[in-house]
């Protein structure tokens, strides 16, 4: 398959027969989204190039490169993988001989996994394969026939494409059965992780301060009086008084604008006594009064980020959409054109989004004017969420094709929401699970390879 065809990350976890990506180690480098969000169901998606790819070069004579449990890997397979390999911008490819060696090894690892799938009786039925192919076509704004025609211009016949796609799905399913579904994270593991990282060095802080200055050379009585004033102000803040108002009225710091906030910065850029004072605080709490050369500081923890922990806040988005589902009565092109027309009507004020959603949307949200409510990161499928996240409040998207149909999106507002203790634990659970899954996957694949009979023949040229 041509190197410009890129399948979704859900299918790339296995190493990617149909993937178009530079070689990478088995261990993934990724983190889960904010906890409390439900990941989208994995399905095949793809992005096709806008222009036809160069003609496929004529390959040299085919020969067996290596036998994997008596099943051959041929030079044409290795060279075809090389032909569609993409190198990230700004990086340099290894020498050709090293690339061929890495690609051969990748094919060996894929072959042993596919053989394991066959031994376990794992199969991909025709209905699942058809649905995956339709998803890829939809992601590229095409129907299946148009997708096959595009692949033809890229030098890939539809049967080869479907075979590669089936293998991708087999690799994913055998991994889920033998690795992913066996990983469990206990509550004690989460407790241990939180205990370690909550007591570790803070990564970033945003503090607000109220400063009561102590004159140079002040006597003990003056120092004690000023300390008491600082303590009283701290207690008022803890009792619910508006900290910004207290800062504006009493602070003697030169930078008391913006409620005395000092800004989000590395903890290393704050005085050590400030960091120590707020280390055990939760966001919004007031620290014990601290004394510096300048005077007494009342500190409020506005935001903190521990290394290895999620941000204290995350962004929720309230949006609405109009969904049209292409089918026998409505082609995808017609759906896009209709939504473009609706977009113009909303833009010129001749109709409201709400009334058009009620009239035209084929989603369950139609009766509510397309309202989707407040959404956490990861609640929607990636292709929808990526477009939504780029919109400013009040802005309308262009018609968007997703695996569910064609959407017109409008973002209404956004807000910052504190991460709850339950959400933080779920974030940690996802992180630990992902780490364990990747480690277990690497071990499992290497064990498969170690048990396999590998016989190297003539290397590809």
Residue 135, pLDDT above cutoff 90: no
Per-residue pLDDT, averaged over 231-252, amounts to 92
Q: Which has more confidence, 27 or 386?
A: 386
From residue 103, give the alpha-carbon distance in Å to each of 70, 106, 195, 353: 19, 5, 42, 51
CB contact at 8 A, 309 and 195: no
Which domain range does residue 373 map to? Answer: 314-418
User: Is residue 426 included in any domain, yes or no?
Assistant: no
pLDDT digits (tens, 9 = 90+) for 200-234: 666 788 899 999 999 988 999 999 999 999 999 99
Residue 178, pLDDT above cutoff 90: yes
What pairs with residue 71 in β-bridges? Answer: 68
Q: What is the pLDDT of residue 59?
A: 57
Do 42 and 175 lie in a common domain? yes
Kindly compute the dihedral angle of the four CA atoms of residues 101, 106, 108, 109, in this order, to the nearest 10 degrees: 140
Q: What is the pLDDT of residue 190?
A: 92
What's the CA gap between 113 and 444, in Å, rounded? 9
Q: What is the pLDDT of residue 381?
A: 87
Q: What is the pLDDT of residue 456?
A: 93
Residue 143, pLDDT above cutoff 90: no
What's the CA gap between 386 and 391, in Å, rounded? 9
What's the CA gap between 398 and 412, in Å, rounded? 16
Residue 145, pLDDT above cutoff 90: no
Range from 223-232, 246-255, 405-414 carrying the lowest mean pLDDT: 246-255
- Domains of the chain: total: 3
Range from 79-83, 138-142, 288-292, 294-298 carrying the lowest mean pLDDT: 138-142
Q: What is the pLDDT of residue 89?
A: 59
Do 289 and 247 lie in a common domain? yes
Q: Which has more confidence, 359 or 196?
A: 359
pLDDT digits (tens, 9 = 90+) for 31-77: 223 333 332 333 444 555 444 444 455 556 789 999 999 999 999 89
Do 78 and 209 lie in a common domain? no
What's the CA gap between 52 and 337, in Å, rounded? 25
pLDDT digits (tens, 9 = 90+) for 269-323: 889 899 889 888 888 899 999 999 899 999 999 887 777 777 667 789 999 999 9
Do 318 and 392 lie in a common domain? yes
Do 107 and 177 lie in a common domain? yes
Q: What is the pLDDT of residue 304?
A: 79
Range from 136-150, 204-218, 374-388, 444-458 carrying the lowest mean pLDDT: 136-150
Do 325 and 301 lie in a common domain? no
Do 298 and 176 lie in a common domain? no
CATH, residue 349: 3.10.50.40
Q: What is the pLDDT of residue 354?
A: 96
Q: What is the pLDDT of residue 31?
A: 28
Do 47 and 95 lie in a common domain? yes
What's the CA gap between 9 and 28, in Å, rounded? 11
CATH, residue 55: 1.10.4030.10
Do 72 and 40 lie in a common domain? yes
pTM of this prediction exceeds 0.85 = no
Residue 13, pLDDT above cutoff 60: no
* Strands across the sheet containing 71-74: 71-74, 64-68, 454-456
User: Is residue 328 included in any domain, yes or no?
Assistant: yes
Q: Which has more confidence, 408 or 144?
A: 408
pLDDT, mean over the chain: 82
**452 is written with which tokens?**
């396999």
Do 384 and 450 lie in a common domain? no
* pLDDT more than 70, % of the chain: 84
Do 128 and 219 lie in a common domain? no
Instruction: Name the domain boundary from 306, 337, 352.
Output: 306
User: Is residue 60 included in any domain, yes or no?
Assistant: yes
Residue 412, pLDDT above cutoff 90: yes
User: Is residue 243 included in any domain, yes or no?
Assistant: yes
Which residues 6+ apart lie within 8 Å of 430 measured at CB?
A: 32, 33, 35
pLDDT band at 397 (very low <50, low <70, confident <90, very high): very high
Which residues 6+ apart lie within 8 Å of 168 measured at CB?
A: 7, 11, 14, 16, 17, 18, 19, 44
Residue 134, pLDDT above cutoff 80: yes
Do 22 and 162 lie in a common domain? yes
């Amino acid at each position: 398959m041509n190197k410009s065809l890129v399948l979704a990350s859900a299918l790339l976890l296995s190493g990617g027969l149909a993937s178009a990506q530079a070689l990478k180690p088995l261990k993934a480098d990724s983190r889960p989204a904010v906890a409390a969000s439900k990941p989208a169901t994995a399905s095949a998606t793809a992005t096709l190039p806008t222009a036809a790819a160069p003609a496929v070069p004529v390959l040299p004579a085919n020969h067996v490169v290596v036998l994997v449990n008596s099943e051959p890997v041929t030079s044409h397979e290795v060279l075809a993988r090389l032909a569609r390999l993409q190198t990230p911008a700004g990086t340099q490819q290894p020498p050709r001989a090293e690339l061929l060696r890495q690609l051969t090894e990748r094919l060996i690892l894929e072959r042993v996994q596919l053989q394991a799938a066959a031994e376990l009786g794992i199969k991909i039925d025709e209905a699942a394969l058809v649905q995956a192919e339709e998803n890829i076509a939809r992601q590229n704004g095409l129907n299946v026939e148009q997708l096959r025609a595009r692949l033809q211009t890229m030098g890939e016949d539809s049967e080869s494409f479907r075979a590669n796609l089936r293998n991708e799905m087999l690799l994913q399913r055998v991994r889920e059965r033998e690795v992913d579904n066996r990983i469990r994270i206990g509550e004690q593991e989460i407790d241990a992780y939180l205990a370690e990282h909550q007591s570790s060095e803070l990564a970033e802080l945003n503090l607000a301060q109220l400063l009561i200055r102590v004159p140079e050379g002040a006597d003990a009585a003056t120092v004690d009086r000023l300390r008491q004033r600082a303590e009283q102000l701290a207690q008022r803040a803890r009792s619910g008084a508006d900290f910004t108002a207290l800062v504006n009225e009493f602070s003697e710091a030169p930078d008391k604008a913006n409620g005395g906030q000092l800004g989000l910065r590395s903890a290393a850029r704050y005085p050590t006594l400030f960091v120590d004072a707020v280390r055990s605080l939760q966001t919004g709490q007031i620290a014990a009064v601290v004394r510096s050369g300048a005077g007494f500081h009342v500190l409020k923890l506005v935001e903190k980020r521990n290394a290895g922990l999620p941000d204290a806040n995350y962004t929720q988005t309230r949006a609405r959409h109009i969904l049209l589902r292409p089918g026998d009565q409505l082609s995808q092109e017609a759906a896009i054109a209709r939504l473009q027309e609706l977009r113009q009507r909303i833009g010129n004020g001749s109709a409201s989004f709400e009334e058009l959603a009620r009239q035209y949307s084929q989603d369950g949200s139609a009766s509510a004017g397309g309202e989707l409510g407040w959404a956490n990161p990861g609640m929607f499928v990636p292709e929808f969420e990526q477009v939504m996240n780029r919109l400013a409040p009040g802005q309308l998207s262009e018609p968007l094709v997703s695996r569910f149909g064609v959407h017109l999106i409008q973002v209404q507002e956004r807000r910052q929401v504190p991460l709850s203790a339950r959400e933080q634990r779920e974030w940690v659970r996802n992180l630990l699970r992902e780490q364990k899954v990747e480690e277990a996957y690497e071990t499992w694949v290497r064990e498969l390879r170690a048990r396999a009979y590998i016989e190297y023949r003539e290397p590809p040229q």
